[in-house]
Homo-oligomer: A and B are copies of this chain.
Amino acid sequence: MSGTTPDREGAPARRRGRPPRTESGDTRDRILTVAREEFSERGYEKTSVRGIAKAAGVDSALVHHYFGTKEQVFEAAVAVAFAPALHAPDAVGAGPLDGIGERLTRFFFGIWENPTTRAPLLAIVRSAVNNETAAAVLRRLIASQLLRRIAGQLEPPDAELRAELAAAQLMGCVMLRYVIKMEPMASADLEQIIARAAPVVQGHLTGA
C-alpha cells in the first residue's frame, strides 16, 4: 500500500477526480483493499463510501468513479474475497465425475480452514444475513460464478437445485463449525467431516 511517489505527495490536490493513468491501478487496488477491510470489520450496513474514502486517503468521488454505488463497492470487495472460492468449478472439473463430491468438499473446507481466506468470507456471510442488499450481492455472485458453473457440468433438468442442495450441506457445516461453533462439529477432525460430507455432496450432484 505504499507506492506513493514524491510527485504525488507534493500534489495532494490530484487526489480529487481521476488520477493520472499510471497511478490509477494502484489507487483502485488500495481503495478495494480498504473497502474489504471496512466491510469485514463493520459489516455492510455500518460501512460508508465516505469512510472507505477517508481510510484510503482519497475523495469519495474517486471511490464512486471507480466502483459506483456502495452496493457496487461491496460487490467488488466481495469478488476479491470470493476469488479463491471461484476456482472451485476448476477443482471440481479436474477429474472423473464420480470424485466430484470429494474434490468439491476438500476444496471448500480448504478455503474455510485457512484463517486468511475464512475471515473475508465470514464477513460476507454476516453482512448477507443481516442486509437484503448484501444478500442480493452474495446471491448474484454464488449463482453466476459458482453454482451455475458447477451445475453446467451436471445433467439437466435439475442440475441447479442439485448444486444448491450440495452447497446447503457444505454451508450448514460452515455455520455450525465456524460461525455458531457447535461442538463436536467445531473441533471435530476435518477428515472425519469430509468423510461424511463428501458422499452427501456427491449424492446430491450425481445421485439418482
Q: What is the interface of chain A, defined by CB distance below 8 A to chain B?
A: 43, 125-126, 128-130, 135, 138-139, 142-143, 147, 158, 160-162, 164-165, 167-173, 175-176, 179-185, 188, 192-193, 196-197, 200, 203-204
* Residue pair B183, A175 in contact (C-beta under 8 Å): no
| Interface residue from B161, B171, B184 paired with A184 (Cβ < 8 Å) | B161
Residues of B with C-beta under 8 A to A147: 182
Specify which of B126, B130, B170 is in contact with A172 (CB 8 Å cutoff). Answer: B170
The answer to whether A175 touches B171, judged by C-beta atoms less than 8 angstroms apart, is yes
Q: Given that A129-B125, A188-B161, A196-B204 are contacting pairs, would A173 and B182 also be in contact in the complex, using a CB cutoff of 8 Å?
A: no
A129-B126, A168-B173 as given contacts; A139 in contact with B182, CB under 8 Å: yes
Instruction: Count this chain's copies in the assembly.
Output: 2
Complex CA–CA separation, A196 to B167 (angstroms): 13
Given the contacts A181-B135, A182-B143, A192 and B129 also touching, CB distance less than 8 Å: no
A-B contact pairs, 26 of them (CB 8 A): A43-B130, A126-B130, A128-B179, A129-B129, A129-B130, A130-B130, A135-B180, A142-B180, A142-B182, A143-B182, A143-B183, A158-B192, A160-B183, A161-B185, A161-B188, A164-B184, A164-B185, A165-B196, A168-B173, A168-B175, A168-B197, A171-B171, A171-B172, A171-B176, A172-B172, A200-B204
Q: Nearest-CB distance from A74 to chain B (Å)?
A: 15
The answer for the CA separation of A4 and B183 in the assembled complex, in Å, is 45
Q: How far is the CB of A42 from chain B (nearest CB, A)?
A: 11
**For residue A169, which residues in chain B have a CB less than 8 angstroms away from its CB?**
168-169, 172, 200
